[in-house]
């Protein structure tokens, strides 16, 4: 059992599925994929005979307990670009976040019991391996999203010669970290959010998002 936290603080219950489990459930129902989800969100959604719903999104699969739950989760994801509100209440450093990235990386390394915390792609790979072995991996990821931004972003800043840039969100309270390189801004917060909250069985979280942006 897993939970997806919505922006209003409520939770939607769901269950990660392997692709094999998804295929077994899909073949067990004679119903076609629900077309509106494919058109609106580019995901495969099938309603099972007991009103439960299975979803395949970019190669990852989950079981929800109602169509309404799927709708509310994907509407929130689609309406939450550029990290707006994702870090509400989660960034105690505010505009000064870049000054604390090294401390956050050290805290994350200690929490995962990684002794050699030299910033590198290998560190991200090692962290992903430790995350996979945690019994409470999903909750740990949700709690440490700011740490993940720090370690991925700091490595990207070195490899791409990028600089941190903090932007105040529309709520006028939350400072969101961006990176700027060669006059272009990019951020990793939304990618992390989607993978942590909506793809609970993603095994290569940190190195995967790093490579997408490098």
Give me the pLDDT at residue 101, please. Answer: 95
What are the CA-CA distances from residue 133 to residues 89, 129, 145, 170, 176 (Å)? 28, 7, 18, 37, 30
**Where in the chain are the domains?**
2-79, 82-213
| pTM exceeds 0.75, yes or no | no
Distance CA 78, CA 167 (A): 20
Per-residue confidence at 203, pLDDT binned at 50, 70, 90? confident
Contact (CB, 8 A) for 64 and 52: yes
- How far from each other are the two terminal CA atoms of the chain, in whole angstroms? 34
Share of the chain above pLDDT 90, in %: 34
Least confidently predicted of 116-130, 135-149, 159-173: 159-173
Residue 64's CB is within 10 A of a number of other CB atoms, namely 22
Give me the pLDDT at residue 200, please. Answer: 52
Distance CA 82, CA 194 (A): 12
Per-residue pLDDT tens over the stretch 155-201: 999 988 889 999 888 778 889 899 988 878 888 888 888 788 765 55
**Residue 37, C-beta contacts closer than 8 angstroms, at least 6 positions apart:** 43, 44, 45, 55, 70, 74
Name the residue among 159, 150, 164 with its Cα closest to residue 111.
150
Name the residue among 90, 51, 61 with its Cα closest to residue 171.
90
Q: Architecture of 82-213 per CATH? A: Up-down Bundle (1.20)
Distance CA 126, CA 142 (A): 19
Per-residue pLDDT tens over the stretch 64-85: 999 888 888 887 766 654 444 6
Q: What is the separation of C-alpha 69 from the centre of its chain, rounded to a whole number of angstroms?
A: 18
């Amino acid at each position: 059992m897993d939970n997806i936290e919505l922006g209003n603080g409520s939770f939607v219950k769901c269950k990660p599925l392997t692709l094999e489990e998804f295929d077994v459930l899909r073949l067990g129902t004679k119903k076609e994929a629900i077309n509106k989800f494919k058109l609106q969100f580019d995901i495969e959604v099938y309603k099972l005979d007991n009103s439960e719903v299975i979803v395949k999104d970019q190669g990852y699969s989950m079981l929800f307990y109602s169509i309404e739950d799927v709708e509310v989760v994907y509407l929130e994801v689609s309406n939450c670009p550029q990290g707006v509100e994702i870090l509400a209440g989660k960034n105690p450093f505010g505009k000064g976040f870049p000054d604390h990235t090294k401390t956050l990386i050290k805290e994350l390394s200690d929490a995962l019991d990684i002794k050699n915390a030299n910033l590198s792609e290998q560190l991200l790979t090692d962290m992903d391996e430790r995350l996979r072995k945690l019994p409470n991996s999903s909750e740990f990821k949700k709690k440490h999203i700011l740490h993940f931004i720090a370690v991925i972003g700091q490595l990207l800043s070195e490899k791409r010669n990028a600089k941190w840039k903090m932007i105040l969100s529309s709520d006028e309270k939350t400072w969101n970290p961006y990176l700027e390189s060669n006059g272009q801004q990019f951020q990793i917060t939304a990618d992390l959010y989607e993978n942590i909250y909506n793809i609970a069985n993603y095994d290569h979280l940190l190195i995967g998002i790093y490579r997408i942006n490098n």
